[in-house]
Structure 1
Amino acid sequence: MTSPNTVLVVDDEVRSVESIRRVLADEFEVIGARDAAEAETVLAGEMVQVILCDQRMPGETGVAFLKRVRDQWPDPVRLMISGYMDSEDIIAGINEAGIYQFITKPWQPDRLIESVREAAALFRLQKEAGGVGVEAKPSEARLRSVVAARRGAERAGSGFDAIVHAPESPIAEVIELARRATEYDISVLITGASGTGKELLARAIHHGSGRAGKPFVVENCGALPDQLLESELFGCKKGAFTGAYQDRIGLFEVADGGTIFLDEIGETSPSFQVKLLRVLQEGEIRPLGAQRPRKVDVRVVSATNRDLETEVAAGRFRRDLYYRLAAFPLHVPALADRPMDIPPIAARILRGVNQSFHRAVAGFLPETLRRMAAYDWPGNVRELHNEIQRMVALSDNDLPLGPHLLSRRIQHPVRSDVAAGAGNLKDRIEALEKAQIQEALERCDGNISRVAGHLGLSRVGLRAKMQRLGLQRRNSHGARDGH
């Protein structure tokens, strides 16, 4: 017998199966199958909750295989992982195959885990609701009722409960506004610095809305040039441009009925903005190289770390597109503006790091949390996550993490009054120089050559500055010297 959380991965690429196995190993038992015949053998003898199937397989497509699965083994929730694929095959077969969600290649580990968790939760809810049963196919009405129950529960990791914060945090008001946004099918624009959790908020909005049973699709608009971004979002026909070797379904089509999250929307070009505006106005897309447009029903949630009103005033962002996207604006405050959130967020991060590193670190000493709360965290939650990973890696036991494990910049941050301009210009410059050199000395364990290279100085120049500023290096044994 298999475990109660079993995923069948059907993919002829062994490396792909192993990559998925490593990502899911902590929560799921993963069984691999190289083709449809091998997968059917597994299904005939094992209890499988989730099927994750590649579209391109030898012999037949993933859609064709999943159609048979729905007829013979209707209980498992069916997911498809896909990159370039024949859009007509997908569109024609999506309802018959009962595909719950698409996962686009290249997939991100956290999004893969989230999708499989959702599918496993849906499997359990179907059973609790009376089960699909071998005798009958799952009806769309039953699926909708299961999804409604799932929305009402607001699963951990997907809903607003996943946004960790203290009761008095300023983000609490943002969450309440976002909850109101779930009630209406309007576009949402989320602003805030990088690493503040804008995607997490977008996911919560989707999972709390009437579209929760449909896909949530993410695209980073700042990572691709215009032509590739258009292909990703709107799809393309074979031969539409150099490198378009097959038809490709666009993410707007994948998200049909659901939500698309357009991250870094402020990085897009004016020419792309025109095309996106047309999609939002007309509710239809035209794949590159296609003759006819296709209707889509997609809610757009976008995000940016730019001030789009300033960008509009400067002529870098279209005013009409801005008003289309910002029907319901939300701003996520930086971590520096909510230090009370650092202890609960750090505790949540540590639980995940413990799981990933197979450790059982017991938390943080009070002084460690005090110093963490006093730091500005310019990289926000992402920087906090990296810092905690580093601390766990450096710790020799599972006792609470002490302040000595913190990075130099957090143990001894540059005074905010210096940065703000206390003292005359000469004093401020010397204070900043001293702080930078101290941090470099700590990072390079007092190695003068490495410090000089890191700071772009000669050894002689560095020694002169250290002497002028009254700095001594600390050697690897902890003693100080002036050499």
Structure 2
Amino acid sequence: MEKAHILVVDDEKRALETYHRTLKKQYEVHCAISAKDAWEILYEFPISVVLSDQKMPHTTGIEFLKQVKAKYPDIVRIIISAFSDSGDLILGINEAGIYQFLCKPWHPENLKLIIANAVNIYELQQQNQLLSLELSAELPRPSEAQLKKHIKNKQDAIAKKYAFDQLIRAEDSPLNQLCTEVQNFSTYDIPVLIYGESGTGKELFARAIHYYSSREEKPLIIENCAALPDDLLESELFGHVKGAFTGAYNDKKGLLEQANGGTIFLDEIGDISLSFQVKLLRALQEKIIRPLGGNRYVPIDIRVIAATNKNLKQEIKSGRFREDLFYRLAGVEFRVPPLRERKSDIILISMSIVKQGNLLFNKTVKGITDDAIALIENFSWRGNVRELQNEIQRAMVLAQTDYITADDLSAKLKEK
């Protein structure tokens, strides 16, 4: 069966790479860095879904999608935006016939689910089994007050999704005490440093802290500091002006500025170089940044949550991390335990993954057999929840019945 064609429009190459990497297994993904490039793709390929960032040079995502609606009304249109752009979202729902808006920062599984639903809608439209996405002319349009309420409900839904009580854990889980302690200081506007191995859920804790704080209605921006070399990381966090370096075709607002009023989560903070540590320290101390190539200073008001899988105090002794930056980040410190220290949580987490997998893969897996549960509970899970998720999803694909059995699990779980 031919894959559905998805068009993603964003003026940030790195963002396009992330979308492509997330969706390429299920779909033919076409990427465009401008509306002009997007139209060339629309003319050439049978696009089912258009996913467009709101902020683009020379136009906006909504203006572009309004034009798409006029020429290709059956294409399902999705806007990518931040909740702080509520006025734009209201305009888009009214005028561009937006099917759904994707809130930044987005989660890969949520993106996949939204795209899967959008593709299903497009296919149903083509089979004449679904009426047009647009409201008929006779039906009244929702009022601005109704749309604002709708957006507020969306905000509340996201806050609820990432609340502390939504972190999956058993009644005797070691996370219970940790969640209570972290929740107590979340409302205080102090920096937080989270320790934990890769895959333990440090980002989930960062989200919970943000949505329990007074900054919950402002942006939460997430950056993995280990993923980029210094020059790119500086551009990402501080932004740049047009012409600052080769390939800087437009001004770009940095993530620290985008997070203004809200929270920035700096994952793998222990991996940044000493030279960049100096620049980050200065920005956090002085609460101002200067975009690369620019002469304008930008004030920032942000809460910083940082995370690492390294022992920063040992890194300080080894000369690889600045002590002054450490104390700027470590207003409060806590450690997220690895999955092997949370044995009672493993099956609850596994069943949650099954539930999500049923939606993602269109499966009807009801549970896990006792022999498979024993293997899962006794495995060490060095990759933590991320490794467990990969294993459960793989088993769901292989399962021949409504239950995951020991035969569906990897050989590594059966080794003595």
Q: Deviations over 1:346-399 (max 9, x none)?
A: 00011111221111112111221122111111010111011111211222x333
Would the alpha carbon gap of residues 150 and 137 (structure 1) be closer, same or farther in structure 2, given more than 3 Å must change? closer
1:56 corresponds in structure 2 to 56
Contact 2:220-2:263 within 8 A present in 1 as well:
yes
- C-alpha distance 199-135 of structure 1, shift in aligned 2 (>3 A): closer
Contact 1:361 1:398 in 2 (8 A): yes
Unaligned runs of 5+ in 1: 1-8, 24-33, 37-50, 69-77, 83-90, 117-132, 414-483
1:299 aligns with 2:339: no
What does residue 192 of structure 1 align with?
A: 196
Q: 1:268 aligns with which of 255, 266, 272?
A: 272
Report how far residue 245 of structure 1 moved: 2.2
Tell me which amino acid in the other structure corresponds to 1:109: P
Structure 2 residue aligned with 1:365: 369
Aligned to 2:415: 412
Instruction: Decide whether aligned partners of structure 1 residues 305 and 403 sit closer, same or farther in structure 2, where only a CA change above 3 A counts.
Output: same
User: CA 1:53 to 1:245, structure 2 compared with 1: closer, same or farther past 3 Å?
Assistant: closer
Change beyond 3 A, Cα 1:12–1:405: closer
Shift of 1:241: 2.0
Matched, 1:170 2:169: no
> Contact between 2:191 and 2:305, CA under 8 Å: does it hold in 1?
yes
**Which protein is bigger by CA-based radius of gyration?**
1
- State the distance in 1 between where 2:299 and 2:150 align: 27
Alignment match, 2:127:
none
Q: 1:354 to 1:376 in 2, by over 3 A?
A: same
Unaligned runs of at least 5 residues, structure 2:
1-6, 24-33, 37-50, 67-77, 91-100, 116-139
Does residue 312 (structure 1) correspond to residue 316 (structure 2)? The answer is yes
User: 1:334: which partner in 2?
Assistant: 338
Is the 8 Å Cα contact of residues 210 and 220 (structure 2) preserved in structure 1?
A: yes
Distance in 2 separating the partners of 1:324 and 1:12 = 34
Cα distance in 2 for partners of 1:55, 1:148 equals: 21
Closer, same or farther: CA 400–169 of 1 in aligned 2, 3 Å: same
* Contact 2:274/2:322 (8 A) holds in 1: yes
Whether contact under 8 Å (1:187, 1:301) holds in the other structure is yes
Structure 1 CA distance for aligned equivalents of residues 409 and 80 of structure 2? 42
Shift in Å, 1:156: 4.5
**What is the rounded CA distance, in whole Å, between the counterparts of 1:275 and 1:225 in structure 2?**
14
Secondary structure of 2:253 counterpart: coil
Residue 210 of structure 2, aligned match among 206, 213, 225 = 206
Distance in 2 between residues matched to 1:157 and 1:95, nearest whole Å: 20
Match of 2:283 among 254, 279, 285: 279
Work out which of the residue numbers 332, 353, 360 in structure 1 matches 2:357.
Answer: 353
Identity among equivalent pairs (%):
41
Hey, what's the Cα distance between the residues in 1 that align with 2:405 and 2:8? 46
Does the aligned pair in 2 maintain the 1:10–1:35 contact within 8 Å? no
2:356 is paired with a residue whose SS is helix
Q: CA deviation at 1:276?
A: 0.8
Distance 1:248 1:281 in 2: 23
- Contact 2:193/2:332 (CA < 8 Å) preserved in 1? yes
The equivalent of 2:108 in structure 1 is: 109
Match of residue 406 from structure 2: 403
Work out which of the residue numbers 388, 391, 395 in structure 1 matches 2:392.
388
| Cα distance change of structure 1 residues 153 and 392 upon mapping to structure 2, 3 Å threshold | closer
Q: Cα distance 1:186–1:245, how it changes in 2: closer, same or farther (>3 A)?
A: same
Question: Higher relative CO (CA 8 A, sep ≥ 6), structure 1 or 2?
Answer: 2
Aligned residues: 340
**Structure 1: how far apart are the matches of 2:155 and 2:103?**
19
Deviation track 1:439-464 (CA, whole Å, cap 9, x = no partner) reads xxxxxxxxxxxxxxxxxxxxxxxxxx
> What is the alpha-carbon distance in structure 2 between the residues aligned to residue 98 and residue 210 of structure 1?
23
CA RMSD of aligned residues (A): 4.1
Partner Cα separation in structure 2 for residue 273 and residue 296 of structure 1: 18
Q: Does 1:161 align with 2:160?
A: no
Spell out, residue by residue over 1:32-53, the C-alpha distance to the aligned partner (whole angstroms, 9 max, x if none). xx979xxxxxxxxxxxxxx964
Shift of 1:115: 10
SS at match of 1:306: coil
Query: Residue 411 of structure 1: CA displacement?
Result: 1.3
Return the alpha-carbon distance in structure 2 between the equivalents of residues 108 and 408 of structure 1. 30
Given that 2:215 and 2:262 are in contact with CA atoms closer than 8 Å, whether structure 1 keeps it comes out as yes
TM-superposition CA deviations, 1:86-112 (whole Å, max 9, x none):
xxxxx9xx69747999747xx763464
Write the distance in 2 (CA, Å) between the matches of 1:313 and 1:243. 39
| Contact 2:52–2:61, Cα closer than 8 Å, also in 1 | no
Name the SS for the 1:222 alignment partner.
helix
Question: Relative to structure 2, which stretch is displaced further, 161-170 or 216-225?
Answer: 161-170
After TM superposition, the score normalised by the length of structure 2 is 0.70
Instruction: Determine the C-alpha separation between the residues in 2 that align with 1:151 and 1:65.
Output: 24
Is 1:248 matched with 2:246? no
Q: Contact (CA 8 Å) 2:86, 2:151: kept in 1 or not?
A: no
Contact 1:147-1:212 at 8 Å conserved across structures = no
